[in-house]
Structure 1
């Protein structure tokens, strides 16, 4: 079974799990689903790990992102997805993830319920070569400046979530 045949959790627009479908059908029909995204922060929380997606990713190839994340599989909880994606994409196996907030992304045929997390990390990062082309630490002030430039090729959902996180962070620090 290929990645596109993987069964993913399908959600109702309201946010409740409604069943499962193969990934290809979810993508083709723009079905509501869920995804977990993990911001990786330096221990002092002043830098974020930013990466560039591979040029053959199925969604937003070659663009920048600062979340390790992915679609919630059928029968999987968002917390487990966060840990799994952090390990798969960045090779971070034992960093605790902290749930921050839930959001919704709805643009064109990509619509999902997002579960946002953060993890602090100072150890090695090992990119999954199929998904991550390159990566580096970026100070939050520089990230803000880059996100203010609409021409910077940054994934649209990640842009939305980082902006929400920056606002959330002001209220929770």
Structure 2
């Protein structure tokens, strides 16, 4: 059996209106900067702090950045909700939480074009981190994220969604 290769995952490709138009490998999606879908799950503890993750240096986008959300690309044939549940299980090892959708957002920069659906859930852990994707994680108050981004990079799509969160 061949080892798992994220570059070979088949992801849904969408247009600017978030309508599906096809499916390609993650590698082709990144190479051609195609618009795709992703789930973003904000994990808060019962004290209202957000769990953030330090992305591994091997990630295909924003390696070594702090990520405000668990989540990832929506695979072909998968809904945003299914993606969110799968990603929470894979990245943080949690599956017994209620997901609440907050909003959809389009984000674009020089390397990434994505329609994301942002979810929120509550969990105090413990978390089992996916070592291929996450180096470590910690809880932080929302008010400290701007300062963190001045010292260490936070994913730009995460910073965009932070601006839309109610405080």
Residue 13 of structure 2 aligns to a residue in which SS? strand
Contact 1:29 1:109 in 2 (8 A): no
1:56 partner SS: coil
- Number of aligned residue pairs: 164
TM-score (norm. length: structure 1): 0.89
1:40 corresponds, among 40, 43, 63, to 43
Given the two structures, how large is their TM-score scaled by the length of structure 2? 0.92
Structure 1 Cα separation of the partners of residues 119 and 111 of structure 2: 24
**What is the aligned counterpart of 1:141 among 140, 143, 166?**
143
Any conservation in 2 of the 1:10–1:33 contact (CA below 8 Å)?
A: yes
Task: Give the equivalent residue in structure 2 for 1:155.
Answer: 155
Provide the alpha-carbon RMSD of the alignment.
1.4
- 1:44-96, Cα deviation, whole Å (9 max, x unpaired): 4x200011111111111111112001000001000111111111111111111
Gaps of 5+ in 2: none
Does 1:7 find its partner at 2:10?
yes
Match of 1:58 among 41, 53, 60: 60
Aligned counterpart, 2:132: 130
Q: Could you tell me whether the CA contact under 8 Å between 2:68 and 2:155 is conserved in 1?
A: no
Question: 2:74 maps to what in 1?
Answer: 72
Structure 1 runs, 4 residues or longer, greater than 4 Å off: none
